[in-house]
Amino acid sequence: MTVENALRAVAGLFVLLSVALGAQASPLFVNANFLWFTAFVGANLLQSGFSGACPMMWLLRKAGLKEARMA
């Protein structure tokens, strides 16, 4: 798995998990404040698109994942 693929997977997991924990209709309901985590993930993805800086990509590289090869 490449850094880029892992980043999309982690972001998707974080969003789904935080929505599941924050949704009132969910049997996993914990607290609506978990939706702030969803907003944080979205804001980080947005700023990363403009700045190119992404802390999760740094962590994934440190974990040994490789960059995707450009053709």
| Residue at 55 is within a domain | yes
| Residue at 69 is within a domain | no
Question: Where on the phi/psi map is residue 64: left (φ > 0), alpha (ψ -120 to 50), or beta?
Answer: left
| Residue at 10 is within a domain | yes
| Residue at 70 is within a domain | no
Compute the distance between CA of residue 13 and CA of residue 18 in angstroms, rounded to an integer: 8
Percent of the chain with pLDDT over 70: 90
| Residue at 68 is within a domain | no
Split into its structural domains, the chain has a count of 1
pTM as predicted: 0.78
Read out DSSP for 9-67? Answer: HHHHHHHHHHHHHH-TTSTT---GGGHHHHHHHHHHHHHHHHH---HHHHHHHHTTPBP
* Contact between 60 and 3 (Cβ < 8 Å): yes
For residue 50, pLDDT over 90 is answered with yes
| Residue at 29 is within a domain | yes
Domain residues for 44?
Answer: 3-62
